Structure 1
Amino acid sequence: MSLGWLVRRILLALLAALGVSVLVFTLLRLVPGDVVTQLIGLEGNVSAEQQTEMRRLFGLDQPIWMQFGTWLVALLQGDLGVSLRTDRPVFQDLLLRFPVTLQLTAMALFFAVLVGLPLGVLAALRRGQAADLLSSGFVLIGLAAPEFWLAILMILLFSLNLGWFPPNGYVSPNESVWGNLRSMFLPALALSFSLAAATTRIVRASLLDVLSQDYIRTARAKGLRAGTVVMRHALRNAMIPVVTVIGLQVGNLLGGAVIIEQLFGLPGVGRFALEGINLRDYPVVQGAVLWIAVSFVLVNVIVDVLYSVIDRRVVYS
């Protein structure tokens, strides 16, 4: 893997993230109503002159292309703007909220791999047997069941009935590490179900394909132990499609975090973006979407790099 390829890949990824932001910027302004409309609803009667002055102060009286140009110039200087509701820098709020979303996504990814990888291997090695049928049922439920529905069931069972975990709220690790893990366990578990199911399915399919290859039969004919054949020869070569699926699903985790953070009251980037949408706070929504998009495309770059680490035959130039 050359440095030039990596630089080009990152630049293309950032351009893709910028394209997403342009789309969001445009669509937000096509939605009826704006932050002034929201404020009028809270403050009561406001004259037309006052509304016009408020839109001028917020810069909403300018053409869309001029608003975008102002935002883009500020973005190139590292400024994501200021919230129209709180007057706080959006970048500062994102820095405060991103660790929550990052921890949620990382824990969900850990749970998904912890369950999906061994279950997929077991299903491939026990093809057509009870373990394979049970894993197929898990995959079907995990892919079909909505995350918010699973989250609500978990709250009812583990929080309200059993009292093992808090139903909502967030505890910072600076306050209590154990309290932080308890507050994040259920949200991460609910978010991990679909990825665990997808991982199980792709591991099973990929491993079955590799186990039918000639070099695997040769390794078995040499008298190598079954565990050695599977772990050292088969599983390593079956991991490229698995890494691809996991990398793509990270985007779904970031998207699903919006609903999960709202349900469990977590102060993450997803909930921050949802609040901005409800309040028509354009800088907040634009900054949060750009932040998520950049995170997603950078994950894809990392996945591409992992290809060459897993399989030395993959070379980028």
Structure 2
Amino acid sequence: MTSGWLVRRVLLALVAALGVVVIVFTLIRLVPGDVVTNLIGLEGNVSAEQQAEMRRLFGLDQPIIVQFGQWFGALLGGDLGHSLRTDRPVLQDLLMRFPVTLELTVLALLFALLIAVPLGVVAALRRGKTADFLSSGFVLVGLAAPEFWLAILLILLFSLKLGWFPPNGFVPFWDNPAANLWHMFLPAFALSLSLAAAVTRIVRSSLLEVLSQDYVRTARAKGVTERSVVYRHAMRNALIPVITVVGLQVGNLLGGAVIIEQLFGLPGIGRFALEGINLRDYPVVQGAVLWIATTFVLVNLLVDVLYALVDRRVAYA
């Protein structure tokens, strides 16, 4: 791995994140209505002159290219703008809400790996048996069922019927760690299921492929125990594709967090972005999308680096 390759990947990551924001910047302005329309809907009849003045104050009377130039110029100075609804700095709100989304994503990733890796290993070692069929059923349901549907079922069962977990709400970790984890368990588990299904399938197929390699047969011929063959020889190579899949699926976790945070009432970036979309609060939507896109491309960059560290056969020039 060379420094030149790393610099190119960082630049490409920034360009990709900016490209996403440009698309969102354009598309959200093509949706009928704007923040002025929402305000009028809440506050009653407003004259056409007053509407025009409100749009002028918000800068919405300018051509879209001018609006983008003003926003991008402020972005280069580290300013994501102010909310059109609350006049609060968007960056300040993102920094306040990011820990919630980050905790949700990390917990969901942890749950997914805790479920998927053992399940995939058992399915590979018990190929064609009951455990393998049960694993395949879990993969099928996890990949086919929408996250919001699974989340609603979990709320109905574990919150409303059994009362084990709260249906919504949030407690900051530093205020009460136990209450925080109690509130975060169900949304993180709901978000993790689709990723767990995808990773289970990859672990199973990858381990089956590795176990058929010559060096594994050689190790068995030398009398190495089956446990050592699987966990010391095969697992390291079998988990290489898993790193790639997990890195790519982080984007799905961030996307799924939008719905999960809304369903469970979590004050994260996903819910913040959804509220911005509903209210046509352009700076909020642009800032949230830029933040999520940048996080996604940085995670992909980290996956590329880890891939080269785990598999010495991979070389980036």
TM-score in terms of structure 1 length: 0.99
* Unaligned ranges ≥5, structure 2: none
Report deviation, 1:140.
Answer: 0.7
Report deviation, 1:43.
Answer: 1.0
For the aligned residues, what is the CA RMSD?
A: 0.8
When structure 1 is superposed on structure 2, of 229-238 and 125-134 the one drifting more is 229-238
* Cα distance in 2 between the residues matched to 1:22 and 1:208: 43
Match of 1:111 in 2: 111
* Cα distance in 1 between the residues matched to 2:153 and 2:37: 37
Match of 2:191 in 1: 191
Percent sequence identity over matched residues? Answer: 78
When structure 1 is superposed on structure 2, of 228-237 and 257-266 the one drifting more is 228-237
Tell me the SS of whatever aligns to 2:230. helix
Report deviation, 1:312.
Answer: 1.3
* Cα distance in 2 between the residues matched to 1:68 and 1:59: 11
Tell me the SS of whatever aligns to 2:133. helix
* Cα distance in 1 between the residues matched to 2:17 and 2:222: 50
Report deviation, 1:227.
Answer: 1.2
* Cα distance in 2 between the residues matched to 1:308 and 1:241: 12
Match of 1:70 in 2: 70
* Cα distance in 1 between the residues matched to 2:191 and 2:160: 19
Please give the residue correspondences for 1:74-153 in structure 2 after superposition, counting only pairs within 5 Å.
74-153=74-153
Tell me the SS of whatever aligns to 1:266. coil
Please give the residue correspondences for 1:282-301 in structure 2 after superposition, counting only pairs within 5 Å.
282-301=282-301
* Cα distance in 2 between the residues matched to 1:130 and 1:161: 31
Match of 1:158 in 2: 158
When structure 1 is superposed on structure 2, of 167-176 and 109-118 the one drifting more is 167-176
* Cα distance in 2 between the residues matched to 1:129 and 1:174: 46
Contact 1:147/1:191 (<8 A) preserved: yes
Match of 1:215 in 2: 215
* Cα distance in 2 between the residues matched to 1:71 and 1:251: 25
Match of 1:38 in 2: 38
* Cα distance in 2 between the residues matched to 1:229 and 1:305: 27
Report deviation, 1:4.
Answer: 2.0
Match of 1:244 in 2: 244
Report deviation, 1:73.
Answer: 0.6
The reply on whether 1:169 has 2:169 as its aligned counterpart is yes
Tell me the SS of whatever aligns to 2:80. coil
Deviations 1:68-92 (A, max 9, x none): 0001111111111100000000000
Match of 1:202 in 2: 202
* Cα distance in 2 between the residues matched to 1:25 and 1:164: 42
The reply on whether 1:16 has 2:16 as its aligned counterpart is yes
Deviations 1:234-276 (A, max 9, x none): 1111112111111111100000000000000000000000000
* Unaligned ranges ≥5, structure 1: none
* Cα distance in 2 between the residues matched to 1:236 and 1:91: 41
The reply on whether 1:304 has 2:317 as its aligned counterpart is no
Tell me the SS of whatever aligns to 2:139. helix
Deviations 1:164-207 (A, max 9, x none): 11110001112211000011000000000000000100000111
TM-score in terms of structure 2 length: 0.99
The reply on whether 1:3 has 2:3 as its aligned counterpart is yes
Letter in 2 for 1:3: S
Contact 1:239/1:310 (<8 A) preserved: no
Runs of 4+ in 1 over 3 A off after TM superposition: none
Report deviation, 1:230.
Answer: 1.1
Number of residue pairs aligned between Structure 1 and Structure 2: 317
Letter in 2 for 1:255: G
Deviations 1:23-49 (A, max 9, x none): 000001111110011111111111111
Report deviation, 1:11.
Answer: 1.1
Report deviation, 1:221.
Answer: 1.0
* Cα distance in 2 between the residues matched to 1:229 and 1:2: 34
* Cα distance in 1 between the residues matched to 2:241 and 2:47: 60
When structure 1 is superposed on structure 2, of 86-95 and 231-240 the one drifting more is 231-240
* Cα distance in 1 between the residues matched to 2:27 and 2:248: 25
When structure 1 is superposed on structure 2, of 50-59 and 239-248 the one drifting more is 239-248
When structure 1 is superposed on structure 2, of 67-76 and 229-238 the one drifting more is 229-238
